[in-house]
Structure 1
Amino acid sequence: MNSPNTAVDTKDKVVLCCRHALKDRKPLGVQLEGVELVVLLVDGRLSVLHGVCRHQWALMSNGHVEGDALVCAAHGWRYDCFSGRKSGSASVGLAKFEAWIEGDSVWIDRDQVLAWKRNAAGQAPGSADRTLSIDALPTPPGVPVLGNALQLKPNRIHQILEDWCRQLGDRYRIRLPGTQIVALADPEDVRTVLRERPHRFRRFSRMANAISEIGVEGLFNAEGTDWFRQRRMIVPGFSTRRLRGFHDRLTTIVARLEKRWHHAATAGRPVDMRADLMRFTVDVTTGLSFGYDSNTIEKEGDLLQDHLNRIFPALNDRINAPVPYWRYVSLPRDRAVAKAMTEVKGIIGDMVEKSRQRLAAAGPDAAPENVLEAMLLSQTEAAAQERLSDDHLVGNVLTLLLAGEDTTANTLAWMLYLLLENPAHLATLRDEVDDLYAEGRTRPRFEDLGGRPFLDAVTQETMRLKSVAPMLFLEALQDTTVGDLDIPAGTSVWVLTRIIGLSERYFPEPEAFKPERWLTADAASYGELLFPFGYGPRFCPGRNLALLEIRALMTMLLRSFDIERVAEGEPVREHFAFTLMPSSLHLRLCPRTVS
C-alpha cells in the first residue's frame, strides 16, 4: 500500500494522496516530480499549492491555517489558501495547481506540475550553458598526500575556512586524503544548496556517522523520507499557539534564574554566564518539548546539563578526527561520553514513561500537550511505515535537548559580551526594556516580548557577528550544479554562512557592532544574507522559541541587574565545538534599584 503522502503515477494523471490523509485545516506535504506541494482541505474545499515559502524556502506543510490564510511557520508570511497570493502583495505568491477528489483519492495533472518545474528551472541558478569543474577552483597550499588536513584545527576550523575564503574567493577547493571538498560562500550559492536539501544534498557523511555512533538518531541526523516523517511530528510543538500557552511556565523559569543571580550578586560571587544560560535553555526545552520540569537552575551536581556538555565537544572531535579510533579502542574521554549518554537516556526514559502514563490516563481521545506526546501517539496511531521506532523517539528527544541548549545559550552569551563591549548600545537597550514596565507591570506579557525593535536589532547583529552555526557540512547526493559549478555526486560541500555577514561587499563597517543597521530600510535585504536558523526546507523549527527565550531572558536581566565583566587573564575568544561559543564569560551582577 502506498504512503498517504506519496504520489502515484497513472499515466496521464496522478494520485497525489489518499483522501483520508487530509484533515480539515491541516497542511499536508507531498512531493511530485521533485516539486514540493502542500495539499489543503479548508471547510471542505481542496487546494494544492507550491509547498515552499517564497521568503526563505521553508516548507509550507509545516505552517498552519488561519481563516483562509496559510501561514509559514518560519517567519509568518501569509498566503491565500485558494489563490496562493501573498497577503499584501499581488506580485508574490505560491503557484496553484489544479486538483480534484475522486473516491478516496486526490488527483492532480502531472503535466501542469512538470511545466511549472521546467519554467522555474529556466529562471533558477544552475541553468547556465557553460559550467565550471571543481578542479579549476583555487586551493590553499598544503603538503603532499595529506593536502590541507594538518591545517584544519577543530576548535578554530571556522576561522581557518573564513581566512581561506578571504584569500581565495567565495569558491575554493580543500584537499583531504580521499575526499573532494568544495567550500562555498557566495549568498546565491548558499541559498541554492540549502533549498535543495534533502533531495540533492545531505549532511556530510562523516558528521552523520559520528552523530549516529555517539547514540543520536533523530531529526537532526535524518535524511530523505525519514526526515519528512519525523519533521511532521516535531514542528507543531513549536507553533505560536504552543509558545503562548507556555508563557507562564517560561516566566517561572526566568524567575528561578533571577533568584539564582540575586543570590550570586548578594554574595559578590561572579557568574559563569554561559553555564547558567545553558541551565536556563535546558529547562525551557524540557518544559516546552517534553512537559518535564528538569529545574537545573535550582540544582547542583550531576545535572542533565553537565552530561549534555560532554556530548557536543565529543561530536566535534570525532567529526574532525583523521581516524575513527573509537571504533577500535575506548579512551577515558570516550568512556566519559558513553557514561553521559547513559545518564541522559535514563532521564529521557523517565520523561517518556511519565508521558505514556498521562496519555494512558487520558484515554483513547488524548490530545498531545507537547512534542514528546505527539511522538508517542504516533507510535500507536501511524501506519507501520510511518511509525517512529524507540531509537528514533529517544534520538529526537536528545536532538531537541542538544539543539535547544547550546545554540540559544551561546547566542545569549555572545549578545552580553557584545553589549558590554558597546556600553552605549547597552544603555539604549536598557531604556527600551524599562519602557515595558512603564504602566506598573510586574512582568511582560507574551505579546509585549514580540514588540521590542531594538532588542530584536541587537539579536540580529549578534547573530551576524557571532553566528553559532558559522558553517554547514553537506554532501552531494547526485551529480548536480550550483550556479555554473559542476559538483559530482559524493562531493563534500562546506557552506560558509557567517563570512557573508562579515563582508564589506554586503554590510557597511562589517566588523562594527551596529544594531541600528537593522532599523533602517536596508534591514530586509540584510536579512536575506544571514542564515542563523538555516534556509530552505530544513529551516530550524525552533526559531520562534529561541527568539522568545532571548527576549524573556534579556528583559529580566537588564531590568533587574547592572552587569560588568570580571577581569580575566585572557580575552574572550571564539571556540568552536560543534557550535561557536565564547571561551569564557564571567560577569558580575549588581541588583538595580528601579523606581
Structure 2
Amino acid sequence: MLIRCASRPLALGARAVSASSSKPCAGAAAVSKREDYYKTLGEHVDESKPPGWDSARPFEEIPGPKPLPIVGNLLRFMPFVGELYKIPILGMFQKFREQYGDVVILKGIPGRSDYVYIYDTKDIENLLRNSGTFPVRRVLDVFVYYRTVARKDIFQGIGGVLTVQGEDWFKIRTVVNPILMQPKTVQQYMSKLDGVAGELAENMRHFSRLNETHQMPDDFVNELYKWALESVGIMALNKHFGCLDLTTPQDSDPKKLVTAVLNMFKHLYLIETSPPLWKFISTPLYKKFVKNLDFITSIIVKTIDEALAEPIDESVPEHQLSVLHRLGRKDKRIAFTMVMDMLIAGLDTTGKTLGAILYFLAKNPDKQAKLREEIIEVLPEKDSVITAEGLGKMPYLKAVIRESNRIAPVAVGTVRTTVKELVLGGYQIPKGTNVTVVSICTSNSSEHFKDPEKYMPERWLRDTNDEYSSKNVHSFASLPFGFGPRMCVGMRFASLELELVLMKIIKNFELSWEHPDMEFASHLLYGINNPLKLTVKELTR
C-alpha cells in the first residue's frame, strides 16, 4: 500500500530524483510571492493602534549594527574578517543587547529581511500573546522551496507544519494535535522506547570496556543521534531501524540516513548564513543540500511504504497504532509529511538535548547522585518496569531536563512575523515585521535566574521556595518549546524519550567529565561543540 495524494502514489523508491531538476533560478520569484503572503496573513486581526503607539519612537530609530556601504552588515559575519564571525551565538546576542538595548534591529544583509531582536520578558509576552489565531513564524526558505517547488511532485501541496502558515498550518495542527500532544497517546510507546534506551546503554557499556580510561569515543554523540532516530521510528512507524546494533554495516540505509540528516542541517546552516545565491543559480552548496535531502526523502518514503504494506491487526486499538497509521486514517498526505518531519527534526534536536544533559550531569556529580536516588526509589530492582504512574513520581528527572533546556536550548529563540502593529520596548513595530525572541539570553540572564551559569534542577521543583526557585521567574523567561499554538508539536514525544533514556543510563552508570568545559555553539541548532568524551563507570547494583 502506498500513501496517495490526490490520485497519485507518493513513492520515491520507484523513481530517482536529481538535483538538476530543481531549477533554483525560480527560487527568487517563489520567495517573493511568499513575502506578499506573509503580509496578508494577519488581515483578519484588529487594525486599531495599540496603546502607546503615538508616543512610541518610530521603527526607523531602532538601534543596531550600522550597515556598511554596499556589503551592508554581511561583512561582520564573514570568515576571518568579520568581528562577529567567531563570537558564539550567545555572546553575539549578549553583545547586541549591551551595545543597543532591549530592542535591536539587524538589517543590511543582502537577500535577507530585516530582523528585530527583543530581550525584555514583558515585550516577549506582548509579542507572543498578540500573534493571532494562526501565528506566523519565519521558515527556512530553501527548505520550503525544496518541498513546494523543486519537489512539488513528491509533496503535492502538503509541506508539513515546518513549512506552511495561516489556515493551512492550522488545518494540519488540528489533525495532528489530538495524536501528538496527548499524554496518554505518547505513553503507549513506553515499553518499546525503554527497549531502545537499553540498546544505547549496552553500547555505552561496550565502549567503556574498550579502554582503561572507560571513556566514550570521540564520535559518541553519533550514538545519541542513532538512539533518537530509533526512538522516533518506534513512535512514527512502529519500526526498529537497527542502527544502534554495532554489527550493522556503516553503509546500511539507517546509518546513512543519520549521516545524511546531520549533513543536511550543516548545509542548511551554511545556506542560511550566506548570501542567498541559491535563489538565482544552482550553487555547489545548494546541490549538496538537495542531494542529501533527496536521499533522506527516498529512504523515508521507502520506509513509509513498507510500513503501510504490512497488514494491520484489526483487533489492535487505534491508540496503539503508529503515528503514521493513526494520521493516515484522517489524512494520508498529512500523515506522510508529519512522519517525515518527525524523523528529520526529531533526530538532531533530541540527540543534541541528550548530549547536553549527560554533560551537565557528568559535571555535577551531586545532581547526578540525587537523580539516581530518585530513579532507584521508583525502580528498586534491576528488572523493574517503568509505568506512567512511576514517571509521575520523578519530579527531579523532569527538572534535570528542564534545567538543561534552560542553559542550552536547541533553539536559541522563537521567531514571529507580527500580524498587527505592536509597541515593543518603546518602539513602533509595524505589522509584517520579523521579530526574534532571544530566549537563550533571557534564560541565561541573572535578571531572571540567580546564578544562571549554575546547573540547578532544584529551580524547577515545587517544594523549592528560596531565591533560586523558578516561582520567582517570569513565565516567558525560558521557552525551550516555544509558546502558544505554534509550540513544538513533538514536545511530549521528546520529553518521554529523554526521561526513559536518562533513567536507563543513570541507573546503570556513573558519569564523570575529565576535560575542559564543553563549548556550546549554534549550527542552526544550539548544542555541544566538542567530543562528548564521558567517563563511564558501570554500577553493579
Q: Tell me the TM-score normalized by structure 1.
A: 0.70
Corresponding residue number in structure 2 for 1:348: 300
Whether 1:511 aligns to 2:453 is: yes
Looking at structure 2, the residues matched to 301 and 236 of structure 1 have their Cα atoms a distance apart, in angstroms, of 37
Query: Relative to structure 1, is the Cα distance of residues 183 and 593 closer, same or farther in structure 2, using a 3 angstrom cutoff?
Result: closer
Say whether 1:488 aligns with 2:430. yes
Counterpart code for 1:172: V
For CA contacts below 8 A with separation 6 or more, give which structure has more relative contact order: 2
Q: How many angstroms apart in 2 are the aligned matches of 1:176 and 1:492?
A: 14
CA distance in 2, matches of 1:482, 1:402: 35
Q: 2:510 aligns with which of 559, 562, 567?
A: 562
Q: Which runs of 5+ in 2 are unaligned?
A: 1-41, 78-83, 149-158
Output the amino acid matched with 2:296. V
How far residue 234 of structure 1 moved from its aligned partner, in angstroms, is: 2.0
The letter of the residue matching 2:95 is D
Q: Give the match's secondary structure for 2:530.
A: coil
For 2:250, the aligned partner's letter is G
For the 8 Å contact 2:415–2:434, the answer to whether it is kept is yes
User: Deviation at 1:439?
Assistant: 5.6
1:362 shift after superposition: 5.2
Per the TM alignment, residue 444 of structure 1 is displaced from its structure 2 partner at its CA by 2.7
Choose from 473, 476, 493 the match for 2:418. Answer: 476
Separation in 2, partners of 1:421, 1:460: 16
Counterpart CA distance in 2 for 1:324 and 1:309 is 22
1:351-407 Cα shifts (integer Å, max 9, x gaps): 3223433478859x9888232223322347xxxxxxx4xxx6544323212221122
Deviation at 1:158, TM superposition (A): 4.4
User: CA offsets, 1:414-441, max 9 Å, x none?
Assistant: 1122222222222222222232333665
Partner of 2:497: 549
1:133 partnered with 2:58? yes
Q: Secondary structure at the match of 1:415?
A: helix
* Aligned mates of 1:407, 1:230 — CA distance in 2: 22
2:532 — aligned with what?
Answer: 586
In structure 1, what residue type is equivalent to 2:142?
A
Report what 1:165 is aligned to: 97
Identity rate, percent: 22
Q: Is the 8 A contact 2:237 2:322 kept in 1?
A: yes
Change (3 A) 1:477 1:318: farther
Deviations 1:217-255 (A, max 9, x none): 211221101111111222233222222211111111112
CA drift of 1:329 comes to 2.6
2:225 touches 2:347 (CA, 8 Å); kept in 1? yes
Structure 1 letter corresponding to 2:65: P
Q: Which amino acid aligns with 1:378?
A: K
- Secondary structure in 1 matching 2:140: helix
Q: Any idea what SS the aligned residue of 1:576 has?
A: strand
Question: Letter of the aligned partner of 2:198 in structure 1?
Answer: A
Partner deviation per Cα, 1:110-148 (whole Å, 9 max, x = no partner): xxxxxxx99xx99xx856663332222222345334343
Given that residues 194 and 536 in structure 1 are in contact (C-alpha distance below 8 angstroms), is that contact kept between their aligned partners in structure 2? yes
> Which residue in 1 is equivalent to 2:324?
372
> Any conservation in 1 of the 2:409–2:480 contact (CA below 8 Å)?
yes
1:44 is matched with none
Partner of 1:28: none
Which of 121, 140, 162 is 1:208 aligned to? 140
Q: Which amino acid aligns with 2:329?
A: L
Give the AA of the match of 2:371: L
Unaligned runs of 5+ in 1: 1-31, 36-116, 381-387
Aligned counterparts of 1:563 and 1:544: Cα–Cα separation in 2: 26
Aligned pairs (5 A) from 1:10-89: none
In the alignment, which residue of structure 2 is the partner of 1:315?
268
Decide whether aligned partners of structure 1 residues 371 and 413 sit closer, same or farther in structure 2, where only a CA change above 3 A counts. same
Larger mean Cα displacement after TM superposition, 333-342 or 449-458: 333-342
User: CA separation of 1:591/1:393 partners in 2, compared to 1, >3 Å: closer, same or farther?
Assistant: same
The separation in 2 between residues aligned to 1:571 and 1:142, in whole angstroms, is 35
Q: Which amino acid aligns with 1:270?
A: M
Higher strand fraction (1 or 2):
1
Shift of residue 557 of structure 1? 0.9
Q: Do the aligned partners of residues 451 and 166 (structure 1) sit closer, same or farther apart at CA in structure 2, a change above 3 Å counting?
A: farther
Partner residue, 1:251: 194
TM-score with structure 2 setting the length = 0.77
Q: 2:234 aligns with which of 267, 280, 287?
A: 287
1:242 and 2:185 matched = yes
Residues 30-65 of structure 1: per-residue CA shift (max 9 Å, x gap): xx9969xxxxxxxxxxxxxxxxxxxxxxxxxxxxxx
Cα deviation, residue 300, structure 1: 4.1
Q: Name the aligned partner's letter for residue 146 of structure 1.
A: V
Q: CA deviation at 1:475?
A: 2.8
Which whole-Å CA distance do the structure 1 matches of 2:448 and 2:200 have between them? 38
**1:211 aligns to what SS in structure 2?**
helix
Aligned to 2:309: 357
Letter in 2 for 1:243: V
Q: Counterpart of 1:140 in 2: which secondary structure?
A: coil
CA distance in 2, matches of 1:158, 1:222: 29
Change in 2 beyond 3 A, CA 1:183/1:367: closer
Structure 2 CA distance for partners of 1:154 and 1:34, relative to 1, 3 Å = farther
Q: Is the contact between residue 128 and residue 483 of structure 1 (CA under 8 Å) also seen in structure 2?
A: no
Paired with 1:339 and 1:308, the residues of 2 have a C-alpha distance of: 11
Q: 1:279 to 1:292 in 2, by over 3 A?
A: same
CA offsets 1:418-469 (integer angstroms, 9 cap, x no match): 2222222222222222323336653433322232222222222211111111
Show the 5 A alignment for 1:164-183: 164-177=96-109, 179-183=113-117
Partner of 2:13: none
Q: Deviations for 1:72-130, whole angstroms, at most 9, x for unmatched residues?
A: xxxxxxxxxxxxxxxxxxxxxxxxxxxxxxxxxxxxxxxxxxxxx99xx99xx856663
Partners of 1:154 and 1:576 within 8 A in 2: no
Aligned alpha-carbon RMSD (Å): 3.3
Q: CA deviation at 1:553?
A: 1.1
1:539 Cα offset (Å): 1.3
1:450 equivalenced with 2:392 (yes/no): yes
SS of aligned partner of 1:584: coil
Distance 1:33 1:136, change over 3 A: closer
